[in-house]
Structure 1
């Protein structure tokens, strides 16, 4: 190679196999999976709320919250996708065969376990306690290490949601053992 030759045949160089231009459009854009999941769930909510029979319910009715959550989810999915498309994740793994990962299966277990416990225990514990449990498990999964504070915040939030849905929207959330039933 002479001093006037501009080729770079080293692995990882501009013409090497690890070059970002060699991966095509999807190279560095694997984060588009999350906006796709959020968008699909949001569309599911919007279609479900459109097919929901409101009956004789007054405003805001049973369609109100799913429409807000579904619409907000679609907007967030579009914004996330636009961000990923504008700024793809840089791929800087120079070693072939070695893949980096950011999966935290402990956090996934806390969040998924909290949702499973919520679904199974809701009829028995009621909304306030089951909601507090899922909020606490989610906080723990996201890395909070203040269990007493998290329990208090979770009980406060689930109580507020219980009051809002029960009073403002007129929905009957299960009261469980706090309401005298089990």
Structure 2
């Protein structure tokens, strides 16, 4: 109670981050709707065609955008922890390293480095251990996709050593 014996009302301000997320969801849904509108002649004899699933996804995204905006306006989101930029930098560095090294060193080594730097972002900073583990996992994935499923993934010196 405050001095005037009237109950204090906690006023919550709209959550700007939630409103931005809602706007981004709505924009993505709009892009999907626009793209689906260009495919309208492909339905053929059935009502279910190549436009059905993207249309459903766009409708769901609109629903999520409305829900997120309503929660953001009410301010009902839980208090968020402050953003830590160190882990984000580790993960972005891993993605950049993979993109730069993929055609040079091949899938296994480039993705192994991504694995190790992402693990570093989550607190596992022993790169001498996480890089070989990441390369081993990535090589296993490469074998499944490139050799068993016959999909094209960049091969580097490590892959050529075995195949």
Higher helix share: 2
Between the two proteins, the alignment pairs up a number of residues equal to 126
Q: For 1:152 and 1:176, how far apart are their aligned partners in 2?
A: 15
TM-score normalised by L of structure 1: 0.51
SS in 2 for 1:124: helix
Match in the other structure for 1:88: 77
Maintained 8 Å contact 1:136/1:151: yes
Q: Is residue 163 from structure 1 mapped to residue 143 from structure 2 by the alignment? A: yes
For 1:111-122, list aligned pairs within 5 A: 111-122=91-102
Correspondence list, 1:26-175, <5 A: 27-28=14-15, 30-31=17-18, 40=28, 85=71, 88-90=77-79, 102-175=82-155
For the residue of structure 1 that corresponds to 2:130, the secondary structure is helix
Which blocks of at least 5 consecutive residues in structure 1 are unaligned? 52-66, 92-100
The answer to whether the aligner puts 1:20 opposite 2:7 as a matched pair is: no
Distance 1:2 1:109 in 2: 46
TM-score by length of 2: 0.56
Q: Which runs of 5+ in 2 are unaligned?
A: 40-52
* CA RMSD across the alignment: 4.1
Residues of 2 paired with 1:104 and 1:160: CA distance? 33
